[in-house]
Amino acid sequence: MNKKVLSILILSLFLFGPVSIISAQEESSYAMWESFYITPDNTKLKAFGEAMAKHNKKYHNEAPYTANVYNVVTGPNTGKVVWRMGPLNYSHLDGRPSDGGHDEDWRDNVMPNVKKISSGEYWKQDSKVSNLDMMTEDTPPYKILHVRYWEVAKGKGYQIDHLLGQISKTIKDMDGDNPWGVFDNEFRQGYKIGRHLATVGFSKSWAEYDDDMKFKEHFLKVNGENSWNAFDRGMSETFSNSWDEIQEYNATLSGN
């Protein structure tokens, strides 16, 4: 089974771009991102792109307020873009750009080309299980994010740390660079929205989907020869739903 298809079946989640995870965690005990979907007006795509690029490159080009934009290319949100700011922490939000023409530029130049903004969320990285230490400001950007959203079944959250820990150990045992992130949705989503957790796999090209990562082989190596069935059952019991979304980095619209 190819590398990314297997990761889709078991894992995957949310960064959040060519940013430094390490520096963010040195500055604070956690790293978090603000994000939301934007549905552009399809009759004003040129104006939208110009306004978004100008806004982000002027007001969101320095940490912790760096904004990165991703095109959604699979799933029900295809055609939308994701606007994502960070890494940051809650105290940074009190000083977010608002003065100096920021709010007026967003209102007068960006929003007239937008049909809808939705799913405003804050995602905090779970540093215990994420495998992102290899990603620094000098790392070439991972242009493709394989985001998997997870809905946790009622009363089954107690298994999450164990299951994600098993996945994390497996990924860290694999050859090569295999960045993988786990992110918690900071505010309650209920069971109609369901976006409780996100896992993100990172790729530099679509060609990586042809690679075989041999996930199960490594899983059995680090977790024990008889561990797979219990893991598979635990995943089915813990998560009531999951779905994938591929996001492609849009350098033109991003702030850096």
Q: What is the pLDDT of residues 115-129, one digit of tens each?
A: 999 999 999 999 999
254: in domain: no
pLDDT range class, residue 25, cuts 50, 70, 90: very low
Nearest alpha-carbon partner for 84 in 17, 181, 138:
17
Plot region of 113 (φ>0 → left; ψ -120 to 50 → alpha; else → beta): alpha
pLDDT tens sequence across 142-181: 899 999 999 999 999 999 999 999 999 999 999 888 999 9
Do residues 10 and 167 make contact, with C-beta atoms less than 8 angstroms apart? yes
pLDDT tens sequence across 77-106: 999 999 999 999 999 999 999 999 999 999
Sign, Cα dihedral of 151, 6, 209, 11 = positive
Average pLDDT over residues 234-248: 97
Question: Phi, psi (5° rounding) for residue 162?
Answer: -65, -45
21: in domain: yes
Top-confidence residue, 56 or 139 = 56
Q: What is the pTM of this model?
A: 0.87
- CATH code of the domain covering residue 240: 3.30.70.100
Do residues 145 and 14 make contact, with C-beta atoms less than 8 angstroms apart? yes
For residue 55, pLDDT beyond 80 = yes
Task: Give the chain's domain count.
Answer: 1
61: in domain: yes
The continuous run of DSSP H or E covering 4 comes out as: helix 3-10
**Is it true that the peptide bond before 112 is cis, omega within 30 degrees of 0?**
no
40: in domain: yes
255: in domain: no
| pLDDT score, position 4 | 47
Residue 154: which domain range?
3-249
- The burial class, CB within 10 Å (0-12 / 13-18 / 19+), for 129 is buried
Average pLDDT over residues 112-116: 98
Average pLDDT over residues 20-33: 61
256: in domain: no
pLDDT range class, residue 256, cuts 50, 70, 90: confident
Q: In the structure encoding, which two tokens stand for residue 226, read together?
A: 């008889």
Q: In the structure encoding, which two tokens stand for residue 197, read together?
A: 């957790």
177: in domain: yes
Question: Phi, psi (5° rounding) for residue 59?
Answer: -110, -15
156: in domain: yes
